[in-house]
């Protein structure tokens, strides 16, 4: 559970915010997971939009709420919680109407969500390469510098997570995008994980059991992103594909995982460019 201490919070105005406030971005996978969860649980919340493409997450105002510079963030009656999976577990306990993180499956759920969190940067690699042109995905140098120089305290101690984020964006600038070897690695990580999940889904209706849990929501979000960028899983992972198509019937699942309209338009045009320059995901998939 990552809850900020009073001394970590530099943007003091959030201390006055009442109710459930979520700082999020429409196209962020972690925000999408949280929003589907909130919709499934019927929880009322107030949204604060943080545009990651414009670099809002590296503004002093946002870094004063989350020194890690990432969304989503929960502000619950002035208390600041970060890390999407921790936020979800906290809210699942607070609003026990429809439990999505059941105690009797807690160990299995934790294992799956830890893995999901670990491969988040792999999803980001694929997103940054295949959703939009590199120049649009690059952060401004001045924003990165601001992030680098900002306070680095989470729960009262110096935090290592910020360096992981910093390194990612610095490398992205330095390499002018995602390197080919990183792309291959990330694709392989997903191939392996999807086989494992396909196997789980051959035994039961959902990933953890016969009931929907937060793990299904988390993986639906990843699958939807993979599908958007052209990852084909229909024939290779039949159980996964069936489960995915079933979940797609839920309107909230589709609504919350749609890219913001400007990004959707850019992405469609960019796909044509990738096709004519032989850089589509399918090309990488066939090489792997």
Give the shortest CB-244-to-ligand GSH separation in angstroms. Answer: 20
Give the shortest CB-99-to-ligand GSH separation in angstroms. Answer: 20
* Nearer of residues 71 and 201 to ligand GSH, judged by Cβ: 71
Give the shortest CB-146-to-ligand GSH separation in angstroms. Answer: 12
Contacts to ligand GSH by CB under 6 A: 28-30, 52, 57, 70-71, 83-85, 117, 120
- 136 C-beta neighbours (distance < 10 Å), count: 13
* Nearer of residues 165 and 185 to ligand GSH, judged by Cβ: 165
- Round to whole Å and give the CA distance between 22 and 186: 29
- The residue with its CB nearest to ligand GSH is 70
* Nearer of residues 63 and 212 to ligand GSH, judged by Cβ: 63
Give the shortest CB-8-to-ligand GSH separation in angstroms. Answer: 16
* Nearer of residues 221 and 281 to ligand GSH, judged by Cβ: 221
Give the shortest CB-11-to-ligand GSH separation in angstroms. Answer: 16
- Strands 20-24 and 46-49, how do they pair? parallel
* Nearer of residues 90 and 237 to ligand GSH, judged by Cβ: 90
């Amino acid at each position: 559970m990552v809850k900020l201490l009073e001394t970590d919070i530099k943007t003091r105005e959030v201390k006055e915010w009442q109710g459930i406030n979520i700082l999020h971005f429409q196209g962020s996978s972690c925000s999408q997971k949280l929003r589907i969860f909130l919709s499934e649980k019927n929880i009322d919340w107030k949204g604060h939009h943080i545009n990651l493409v414009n670099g809002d997450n590296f503004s002093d105002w946002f870094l004063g709420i989350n020194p890690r510079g990432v969304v989503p963030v929960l502000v619950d009656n002035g208390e600041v919680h970060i890390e999407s999976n921790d936020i979800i577990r906290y809210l699942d306990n607070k609003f026990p109407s429809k439990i999505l993180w059941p105690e009797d499956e807690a160990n299995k759920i934790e294992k799956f969500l830890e893995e999901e969190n670990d491969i988040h940067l792999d999803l980001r690699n694929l997103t940054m390469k295949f959703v939009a042109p590199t120049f649009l995905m690059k952060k401004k140098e001045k924003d990165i510098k601001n992030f680098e120089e900002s306070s680095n305290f989470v729960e009262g101690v110096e935090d290592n997570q910020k360096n992981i984020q910093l390194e990612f964006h610095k490398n992205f600038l330095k390499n002018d995008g995602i390197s080919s070897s990183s792309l291959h690695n990330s694709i392989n990580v997903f191939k392996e994980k999807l086989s494992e999940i396909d196997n789980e889904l051959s035994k039961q209706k959902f990933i953890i059991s016969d009931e929907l849990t937060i793990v299904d929501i988390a993986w639906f979000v990843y699958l939807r992103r993979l599908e958007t960028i052209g990852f084909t899983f229909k024939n290779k992972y039949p159980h996964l594909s069936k489960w995915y198509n079933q979940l797609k019937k839920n309107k909230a699942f589709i609504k919350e995982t749609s890219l913001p309209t400007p990004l959707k338009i850019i992405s469609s045009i960019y796909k044509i460019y990738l096709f004519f320059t032989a850089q589509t995901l399918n090309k990488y998939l066939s090489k792997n």
